[in-house]
Structure 1
Amino acid sequence: MKKSTSEIIEQLIFYAVIFLILREWLIPIMMLTDTGYLSLFLMFIALCLLLGVFKLRVYFSWPIKIVYITWFTMFVYNDGTLTTMQFLSNELNYNLNVLLAGDWILVSDPFRTSLFFLLIWMLIYLIQHWVTVRLTIYYFLVLTVFFIATLDTFTGYDGTMAIIKVMILGLVMTSVLFIKRLMQATNMQKDWRSYFTYAMPIVVLVMVVGIVAVLLPKAEPQWPDPVPYLKGVAGVGDSNSSVATVGYGNNDENLGGPFAGDNTVVFEVKTPIRQYWRVETKDYYTSKGWIQSENTNATEILPVYNDVPLSIAPGSGEEQTVEVRSLENHPFLLQAYGTTNYQLNSPESEIKFNKSSEKMSVFINGEDVMQEAYALTFKEPKHSFTTLKTMTTSYQNDPRYLQLPDKLPQRVIDLAHEITESHDSVYDKARAIEDYFKRSGFAYETQNVAKPDADEDYVDQFLFETKLGYCDNFSTSMAVLLRAVGIQARWVKGFASGERITSSNGIHTYEVKNNDAHSWVEAYIDGIGWVPFEPTIGFSNPVNIDYDMDLQNDEEEVIPNAEDAETPEVEKPEVQKNTATGSGVAFNFSQYKWVLYAIAIVLLIAIFALWKLRGKWQPKLAIQRNRSKLKDASTFEDSYFVLLKQLERIDLKRRQDETLKQYAKRVDDRLETTKMSELTAVYEEVIYAGVSNNFNTNEVKEIWEYLINRTSS
């Protein structure tokens, strides 16, 4: 039945309040996960609520929402090198492989984002049901307050103002919905004058009480903060450790401990592909952190525009340019993988290159200076998957990258051999260690992070005691595990790619913040050179691999589509499911994809058919579910409301200005019967007159079933 203008305005007001409350859900999620595009997520919420106001059919509303989700995914994650269909096909193939192999933690960021949109979609549908059908917002309000209070207690998010806003909006909404329920129960005709007469005093009272509650002085907390107590019980963290601020630092001798986030933007980068920004490497692990073992001051002054002698050789592809604008006082130069040379603004500028750590800075008149803006050219290295899988040694280069402390616990070495014993190639061993952290109960954490005692090893503590940490814990542990099995490895410092803010003509602008300061690992493979690896949970490997191996000849590893390898956003990891015996079993999606597509199409057709034929099966389902409940006069009211709901489904909703007799007569005229009037007469006797002596259960049940069945014809 078509809504009146007043009903649409009323629902718009309700949904505007819901939008404001949902915004308080979204803000801390975006803040704590460092996720951008808040305005686009809010636009999706607004779109879902608007479609709910106008009650569009699902074959109109669902495609609109799906198109929006698809557009968002393409806008954020596709760099323009692939068409829409290629990008979506690659993502579908890869994520189905991952899900069917049981490696859910490896799903891609676009897939996770789509799932988050679906979660928002379902949440809004549930809220709309509560508001429009149940006429209550109580459960949603309680969930919201609990959610914000939990984040306020256990994270760095301050939810004080959010809880105040949610409580004021929620109480106002609860009061208005209560008035609406009363008006419906008493068959009171709604007009805006009476509506505001009842609602405005409640709204004003809630607002005044809320403002007074904020302004009045508060007593000190009566209970201690539960977080330190819970940490003590769990044995996590160190109450005496100081909390550092995240960012790029020069001293890495004592790693560990919590740190506070910092969203200060330190670089603005314009790049054709998403990548990590390398700054320096370190080679000597002290059991507490990293230092540079030798040749610390072995520097070389390079003329501008000369090729830089980095140990990672450029690729053979097209030369590309990156523009960097430095916003903080960092004198070093960012490096892309495959950097060839730099273009600096000042003619007096030279480049100081540390041969040991490969750190570079701008050198003018004998001093390191910050270069506010510069450009670099690079040729992205691309590694042959076939070659990576065949190389089994890491002896060449430099033995200092195999250094380990004399007192490294034996169980660390044993674990390294246990992880890699079923693999032959250096690459496979490194990938096994890289994936170990994702499968063995480790978690990314920045607050409850322990610092090793004087007699403890930093890696040993992380691997066997806490399993909680951030990039330094994961990268250091992987480097040590690699060295323990004879693979040369070094610790790399720099920045993750940052947040993409704009894109134009294939060039993407990223904001790199202090929060993006990062560390990862490079392993040396004979005949190939240094290859980057990313063990930290939630981050993507920056390596670019040419998957040139025939899929049919590789039984242990499922290789993503070749087009995936060209997508610079993330590396598509190997999909491998480990059994108890350590053997690999992979599901070959390519072989069965058309069967799965056919099953998906059949399921969609079946769902659509069930929805189209709901008028046939819904009445029968309603009878089956409620027949046994109609036992006597005391349960008749509930059964009568079930009937009203079925009549509403066929556009026979009772109008607010109709009495029950008028409504029953209209139903009888529509259904060409007199049974509704008979049943309504019994209802009025039982409910209003309180007469139940003549209530004939069997006869009433028969009429009730007859009318519900008529709604299906």
Structure 2
Amino acid sequence: MGNVQQADQKLDWIYSLLLYGLGFLLFWEWLRPLSVISNTGEPEVFILFTAFLFLMSYFQIPFWLSFPIKAIAMTYALHSLFFPGAFLEMIWFKYFLSDVGQNIGLMFDTSWGELSNLFRTLLFFILLWLISYLMQYWLIQTRRIFLFLVVTIVYISVIDTFTAYNADVAIIRIIMIGFVLLGLLQILRIQEQEGVTFSKGRFPVFWLMPLVLIITFSSLFGYIAPKAEPQWPDPVPFIKKTTEYEEGSDAKGNGISKIGYDEDDSRLGGPFIEDDTPVFNAETQQRGYWRVETKDVYTGKGWDVSLPDRRIFEGRTDRLYEESVEVEGLDANVSMSGNVEYDFIIHPGQVTDVEAPDDVQLVTNVVSGKVFTQKLADPFVLDNYSLSYERPTFSEKLLKEAPVEYSQDIRNQYLQLPESLPERVSELAEEIVAEEDNPYDKARAIENYFVGNGFVYETKDVSVPDQDEDYVDQFLFESKKGYCDNFSSSMTVLLRSLDIPARWVKGFTEGEYVSTNGDYGEYEVTNNNAHSWVEAYFPGVGWVPFEPTRGFSGLADFVSDYNEEGGAEAEAPEPATPEEEQPQNQTQEDEQQGSSKGFSLSLEWTIWHTIGLLIVLAAFVVYAFKNYKKWIKRFFLRKYKRRDDSKALSEAYFRLLWLLELHGIKRGDGQTLREYAVKVDNQLGTQDMKVLTRRYEENHYRGKPSESGWNEMKELWENLIKKMQS
């Protein structure tokens, strides 16, 4: 009988593992489109949290233990998404509780649109928690999953039709997973309802494998087989045509946008119209470009940032220039106009200090250098702030003599190019710099290349590359008409094709002069001043700005040489009229120093230790779940081993009844102790429970308490507990 019971338990274990595994894979399809249809930056956190919930459900951890563990995991996930720094630094928890309290009040006021991103994410985690419970109910209790499968197919179909998410492979996965799951549940229902058993508790491989093979073959055949053209017209163009404002389209059907700063640069190109809406006013000692961020990944259609992670801003941006570069310390005051709401700092260069209210937290992206402002872990628009920064003067001698040996980190990050980039782009770069012998002169040659050679600054008649066209290649060889994004992207790609590290910079030009107040000049910056430019990296110097856009002049200062004391011999030869340019934040080098290194470790914890923490926590839960019964039994063995009083037998007997229930030998309703003792002895293969029960009844009901009774029965009591452990 013991062998049969063990075989049944093994079979149940395999069933549950398959059901939960397939159920999680099916629910995973709901989470995959998050990064496409929303602004969710780290969907893997939600996927890992969901996997952890399914794991907890699979092991059927008691509620009193699983609830706090899940709550801690959810809190850690929220911390990894919204709060820089270490999880154990509980200062962030105060902000979290305050934010939750405020948002609960907003919910009672039905102010749904004002809920913070942190609170909405908390609600989403709770929703995932509830769905994991429902999945357990559907899979284990009711054995019904068809309705959820149908809803999943409808959901993915709608997402595929009306968004950029491509669900071709997702539909195949859903059909295969769903049908296998339905087949397995049907097998289990037949077994439970009809009383069908499988020989020696073996898993029904001969039932399930043909089903899996048929579903796999049918799905793959349907995927690769030729398909007829749609019989019904596509409704999406009609819907878009009836809902879009058609006056904002050009002759080619490309939407015309207003100029201005936009966070999404994944798809560049197309015309725009000017917009003189004020963005901010700045008082500064020297005019210059206002930078926001850099981007390092060129996709062939636009730009992206390789890492979205953030860390606490230490009061200064990462080093842009090496110590060999002469810098001048300057101050600036920025006042936002209120027409736009930017939850980030706009600054003229390498920031050394930012004066902001104490309750406003500054965090920075470690790759782009973008400095975000937040309050209670939620994006916050800072209307006024003051900052100190450093303005460089570059030595052309140092730049020309800069070595060409770059660190591996620089090469990996800032020489990236897509494999689809046409070869003629690199061939053009080699042709442009054929007469130059150092990276600086090569960069100047590429910068000057756009002055002639048929390139025109244009904002209206600007093409959008086709699906199979590269953005830079189309501009360099086909249209030769565009604005700053075209020129700056092209120069960055040309530099990278020559193995010169470069990156794309976004921000604003200096703006329009308004007035003078002592040593400070006031400038008004509008959406028309939005701009992009290029930075190239030179070892020993740092990141140097270049301005390839026609009609714009960079405001960086260059001198022909340095004197022996290290001072500049000459002033910058290019006075430059309006427009934008200033270097950007570098991240990877300064992270190796001082406090930045500490925050780099903290950031690394936020990313990778999310997975590590969940794995360790899951391993601990599994280990505790498998051994907690053994620990409890050992505890009671030690507790009653030295007891010799008259009450020990009664107390130990009731503890034994509780342990038997925990072990799975349950006492039936109305079952006497002697009847239950027979059941226990049959299942454990002993006669001890009947003897112990008779002695307990004598001791308890017949009024014959004896101090020696427990000592005589202790061995039987211990034997029964040890039998449960075997």
Larger radius of gyration: 2
Report TM bin, short chain.
0.3 to 0.5
TM-score (norm 2): 0.43
